[in-house]
Amino acid sequence: MSVLCLVEHDESGVTDATLRALSFARRLAESSDETLSALSVGSPNDLALRSLAEYGVSELHPVVLSALETYAPVAWATSLLELATSSRSTAIVAAGTDRGNEVMAYAGALSGLAMVANCFEASRVDELTVRLSRQRWAGSLIEEARLEAAPALLTVAFDGVSAQPASEPTALSVHPFAPTLSDSDLLVAVSQFLPRDAGVSLADARVVVGGGRGVGSAEGFAALEELAELLGGTVGVSRAVTSLGWRSHSQQVGQTGTRISPDLYLVSGISGATQHLAGCQSAKHVVAINTDPDAPIMMRADYAVIGDLNEIIPALVAAIRAR
C-alpha cells in the first residue's frame, strides 16, 4: 500500500512544485503508515534522485520509452493508473501545475474517478475516505471536504504547501516501469517546443513593479519600465490594464494571468481585487503606492506610500539614480 506521486523533473532536478507535492503526499502517506512512491517519465538525474530520497520517497518508477520523449498527457495518465493498480496505491498525487492538473484530469477521465484539484492538506480517515482541505477562488476561500474514492486523485495548490524534506531521508530504490500504451494514448502530444528569448520572466522575476488602472495610460508605463529595469526586474499589470489594451496579457499578474513569487512586489495604482491578490500570494515583500489608504491592497501590502504613482515613481527613479 502506498501513496503515488507524479514527479516532474528537468536538468536542474525535481521541480519546486513537485517538491511541494511530495511534501503533501508524504504527510498523507504518514497518516495511515503507508510508503511514498513516485513515477517519473524519463530518468531523473542524480540531483533529482537525491531530492526524492530527502523527501521520503521509497520507490521510484521511471518510465523510459522513446515514444514519451515528448510530453503526451494521456500516456502519462495511463502510466500512473496502471502503476497505481499494480502497486495498490491508495492515492495518486501531482503538483498543481498545468501538466500535473492535466495529467490528473485525464487520470480521472480514464478511470471515471473523481479528481480534486488545489488541495493543501490531506489525511486518511479509512480505506475509502480522505479528509481534504483545498483552496477555492485561488486561495480566497478554503473548503474542508471528504473524498470517497479509491484511489484518491489529488493535485496540490502551489501556494498552499511549502517544500519540506522528510525528518530522515529514505533509502530510495529504483524500479523501471513499462506501461502498456496504445496508439490512442499518444494522439495528443507536443509536436514542437520553442524557447522564448532570454530576459526576466514575470514568473521568475526577483522584483516586479506592478501597475494598474491608476497608471492612467499606456504611455504612463514608461516610468514603471524604467524603475523595473533599474531594479533588475520586470513590469506586471492588473487585469484592468490588459482589458484596456494598455499592455499585453503576458504581463498580467493574477488568477488568470501569471502567479509571481518575487522578493519585492512594488505595486502601484492597483486596488487589489481578490483575483489579483491570488497572483502575488508568494511575494516575499509587498510595497503599495496608492492614492486610497483604504484600498484592499493595504491588507496585503507590508508597507505603503499614499499618493499619486505618476509623481512618486519618477521621483523614486531619480532618487535611486542619484545614490
Calpha distance 151→125 (Å, rounded): 13
- Measured CA to CA, the distance from residue 57 to residue 4 in angstroms comes to 9
- Strand partners for 268: 211, 289
Binding of another protein at residue 222 (CB under 8 A)? no
Written as nine digits, the cell of 55 is 523527501
Residues 17-56 interacting with another protein (rule: CB under 8 A): none
Of the ranges 19-27, 28-36, 162-170, 226-234, which one interacts with another protein (CB under 8 A)? 226-234
Nearer CB in complex with another protein: 172/288: 288
Q: Give the Cα separation of 4 and 34 in Å (integer).
A: 10
For residue 101, state whether it binds another protein (rule: CB under 8 A). Answer: yes
> Based on CB atoms, which residue is closest to another protein, 126 or 245?
245
Residue 74 CB, nearest distance to another protein (Å)? 9
Contacting another protein within 113-152 (CB under 8 A): 113-118, 132, 135-149
102 makes contact with another protein (CB under 8 A): yes
- Residues contacting another protein: total by CB under 8 A: 97
Q: Which is nearer to another protein, 3 or 288 (CB)?
A: 288
Give the H or E element holding residue 286: strand 285-290
Min. distance of Cβ 58 from another protein in angstroms?
28
Burial class (CB in 10 A: 0-12, 13-18, 19+), 168: exposed
Q: Does 88 bind another protein (CB under 8 A)?
A: no
CA distance 260 to 186: 33
Q: How far is the CB of 102 from another protein (least distance, A)?
A: 5
Select from 124, 151, 155, 146 the least CA-distant residue to 27.
Answer: 124
